[in-house]
Structure 1
């Protein structure tokens, strides 16, 4: 069998480096995000994130899976304090997981990591529905935060094309 022809020819690799762009401080205090890949249609989001000491995300329900690799610091889920995530930890979360992300206020350094998320986070505050964060909402939120902070939108990979009819 001969080598197959390239289906999607590339003149360059689609690659981004977290050191080439500043992360964007978000409205959640102590959270800075660097988008790497955002696919609004498939609902996949890939981020590098920094969480300062004391950062705490709302309790949330995942509609899809999450892969999180911790590159620096320590964090945990309030629901599982016996399993702190430290530098070098890889965490897999199945869809349907519910938890509250926390970095202890007395932490000596920020927690950082790389995450791949499929689907959405459904956020709750005081046990009541608050908001939904998916790839589209995240992209819009990062864009607004970059504008608010007078900084350029970081470069990231964003699939284009979308759906259409086969005879278009």
Structure 2
């Protein structure tokens, strides 16, 4: 006997990344990124993005409050702390919560680096002197994309997101 379904799914929740827009440089202060949101759930703190990094992009050092699954589709990158372990096309990286590192896409790369990441929790970002500069999570990414699209006159991002938390009965 099949299990009782609390939610009846009428269709697959699917996106074709080839048909979705990429948003160029949506993060304030960071150039050389193209971001495509895939899944954003501020209630559970889970977010999935496709990010294409131009050669020479260096992200702020950051601390992960939760785990990360990271796939490299093309190009190459490494963490400043682990230059002897470059991530190249076909690599999958798992990062446990409480990881701290700095993403580096070498300027010597001859192509963009195309990646997909699924993150639980937040990135707590620091400057070169280890001062707190901000946080990135599903909620802030949603707000950032709304602002970016409004500011640039772009169509709103299309991504998968669960419904808002609510009571079962009022």
For the superposition of Structure 1 and Structure 2, which TM-score range results when normalised by the shorter chain? over 0.9
Distance 1:104 1:128, change over 3 A: same
| Number of positions where the alignment pairs a residue of Structure 1 with one of Structure 2 | 166
SS at 1:142 equivalent: helix
Q: Does 1:29 align with 2:28?
A: no
Matched, 1:45 2:47: yes
Bigger mean CA offset, 72-81 vs 141-150: 141-150
Could you say which residue in structure 2 is the equivalent of 1:101? 103
- Pick which of 2-11 and 89-98 moved more: 2-11
Bigger mean CA offset, 80-89 vs 9-18: 9-18
Q: Which position in structure 2 is the counterpart of 1:134?
A: 137
Unaligned runs of 5+ in 2: none
CA shift, 1:142, in A, is 1.6
Deviation at 1:105, TM superposition (A): 1.1
How high is the TM-score relative to the length of structure 2? 0.93
CA RMSD in angstroms, aligned pairs only: 1.2
- The alpha-carbon deviation at position 167 of structure 1 amounts to 4.2
Aligned to 2:122: 120
Matched residue, 1:146: 149
TM-aligned CA deviation for residue 154 of structure 1: 2.4
Question: SS where residue 14 of structure 2 aligns?
Answer: coil
Q: How does 1:51-70 map to 2 (within 5 A)?
A: 51-70=53-72
- For 1:145 and 1:109, the matched residues in 2 are separated by 26
1:15: Cα distance to partner? Answer: 0.6
Task: Note the residue ranges of structure 1 that are not aligned, 5 or more in a row.
Answer: none
- Classify the secondary structure of the residue corresponding to 1:140: helix
Aligned counterpart, 1:9 = 8
Q: Is the partner of 1:76 in helix, strand or coil?
A: strand
Tell me which stretches of 4 or more aligned residues in structure 1 moved more than 4 Å: none
